[in-house]
Amino acid sequence: MTAAILVKPDSYAIGPSLYDFTWNEFEKREREREARDAAFEEHFNVWRRFSFIDRERPNAKAEIAEVMSAALSGLYGDDKDSAAFDQALFVLYCSNDNQDAKNVLHELLEKHVRAVVRKEWNRERQIAA
């Protein structure tokens, strides 16, 4: 008989390994991140819709001004985005109907407005927790 046969079968650990545990933890964090991202997307879409609808109210104007100020500060704080924004703004100013320039402006503003709203949303969630 070989040595492997002489060893008791119950002496081997059969079950999840450290790799399995680590993978499960990774998947759990990934699901939590996806749920958090989905919750933020819903919040952002509602925020944008109601900010647009209520943009004439004084409180809404103040909130929009605050968000846009922070977003533009972030945009102009990023050299690459700032240069692209200025270039697109100039093209739009000169041509008045350049769709590429409109798309660049929209993408850059979306990126930085989204970052500001997400920062505020995270802060509110931490306070609530």
Give 12-79 as a DSSP string. Answer: S--S--HHHHHHHHHHHHHHHHHHHHHHHHHHHHHHHHHHHHTTTSHHHHHHHHHHHHHHHHHHHHSH
Is 4 a residue whose pLDDT tops 60? no
Whole-model pTM?
0.71
Note the pLDDT tens digit of each residue in 47-98.
Answer: 888 888 888 888 888 888 999 999 999 999 999 999 999 999 999 999 878 8
Provide the residue ranges of all domains of the chain, joining segments of one domain with +: 18-128
Q: Dihedral angle at the C-alpha atoms of 105, 107, 109, 110, nearest 10 degrees? A: 150
